Amino acid sequence: MAKRASSEAQESVHVEDIVLLLLKERVEQDLVPTIVPGSGVYYVVAGFHIPAERLLRGSQKGFFEVKRHLSFPSCGTCRSTSLILEILCPSCKTSDLTRIDLVVHYECGYMGSVEEFSTKSYGVVERCPKCGKTLKRVGIDYGRPGVGFRCQNCREIFQYPLVNVRCDGNHQTTLDKVNLERYPVLSLSRESWRVSRFVDMLQIIENELRKSLDLDVSILEMVRGRSGVPHLIHMLIRSSDKDVALMVLDEQTELTEAMNVVSKNIDLGIHFIVLMDERKAEELSRLLNPQYFTVIPVNFQNVDEIRYKLVESVYSIVAARGV
């Protein structure tokens, strides 16, 4: 029997539900990985933060296609992307620093904050606090190199602090030794997008099958085949002994898509019900061996007819299997 790829433990939001939401809302957005500081890489989809590892898990990947990649810095030791930036004193390596406006007295070499050089009015350089000389001309007597830092621990004054990253495993990495992790920017795959044409109908018949036949039914499932490849199934109907897959081949279905359904069937080895546009039935149903496929020709404008025919067909298949 085909193994349900989605039965792995999932903490909160199901990726299938997210995909369904995107299809229903017809949201054609790229799923862009982002760093949540101190926490790692996430995809923000429809307002939900989904850890990248969960979205990129083998079977879930089938819903998406890769558009491009983004790289994020990671720990030089353990490759964690959960990093915080540390600005440290180069002398004593502590982080209690304040920003100061630097002044340097060229003659004696003393460097300090502008406040130390001002005696009377705030911000005007007058006298060197170290040698006591009067300072008049900027660029000649003294310089203003800009912003610097003072360590409140060891009182050292410096222009360039030590910049490190620290990971959630407490490893420290200097900036020149950080690693990079590549994550894909994703969009829904063409095969997923196809479902947006009939996602409303799928939800109606899902409810009908639950209500009328009390079956365990779910829309959009990635089911792993014997080859290990995950296949997108439009609806999975679970009965106690066997699963049944439902696929929709509407009026826009091309021959290659029908062939794709055949290869899914071979790899999954479960019975398929195919809701097929009645105008396509003659052309496409020849591809589908009745031993493995129950083809139901329908008019997709008539949802009531679909409900009726489907319930009847599912009942006969499930009943024939002794449930």
Chain residues in the site for Zn ion (CB under 5 A): 75, 77-78, 80, 89, 91-92, 105, 108, 110, 128, 130-131, 151, 153-154, 156, 167, 169, 171
List, in sequence order, every beta strand (DSSP E) within the chain: 3-4, 33-36, 40-45, 48-51, 64-74, 83-88, 97-105, 111-113, 142-151, 157-158, 162-167, 172-174, 179-188, 216-224, 230-238, 243-249, 271-277, 293-298
Least Å distance, CB 92 to Zn ion, is: 3
Both tokens of 196, joined, read 């947006």
Would you say 108 and 77 are in contact if contact means Cβ atoms under 8 Å apart? no
CB closer to Zn ion, 46 vs 78:
78
Pairing of strands 271-277, 293-298: parallel
Q: How far is Cα of residue 245 from the mean position of the Cα atoms in its chain? A: 27
CB closer to Zn ion, 114 vs 213:
114
Would you say 156 and 89 are in contact if contact means Cβ atoms under 8 Å apart? yes
CB closer to Zn ion, 102 vs 167:
167
Least Å distance, CB 164 to Zn ion, is: 12
Give the Å distances, CA to CA, from 315 to 35, 147, 210, 311, 312: 49, 77, 12, 6, 5
Least Å distance, CB 38 to Zn ion, is: 13
Instruction: For 58-86, give one letter per residue: b (16+ CB within 10 A) or e.
Output: ebbbbbbeeeeeeebbbbbeeebbbbeee
Q: What is the DSSP string of 160-195?
A: S-EEEEEETT--EEEGGG-EEEEEEEEEE-HHHHHH
CB closer to Zn ion, 97 vs 246:
97
Least Å distance, CB 143 to Zn ion, is: 12
Nearest to 192 by CA among 47, 8, 16, 57: 16
CB closer to Zn ion, 3 vs 127:
127
Tell me how far apart the alpha carbons of residues 305 and 11 are, in angstroms, rounded to a whole number. Answer: 39
CB closer to Zn ion, 108 vs 259:
108
CB closer to Zn ion, 105 vs 224:
105
CB closer to Zn ion, 144 vs 286:
144
Instruction: Return the SS3 of 6.
Output: helix
Would you say 95 and 87 are in contact if contact means Cβ atoms under 8 Å apart? yes
CB closer to Zn ion, 91 vs 196:
91
Q: Give me the phi and psi of 213, to 5 degrees please.
A: -115, 0
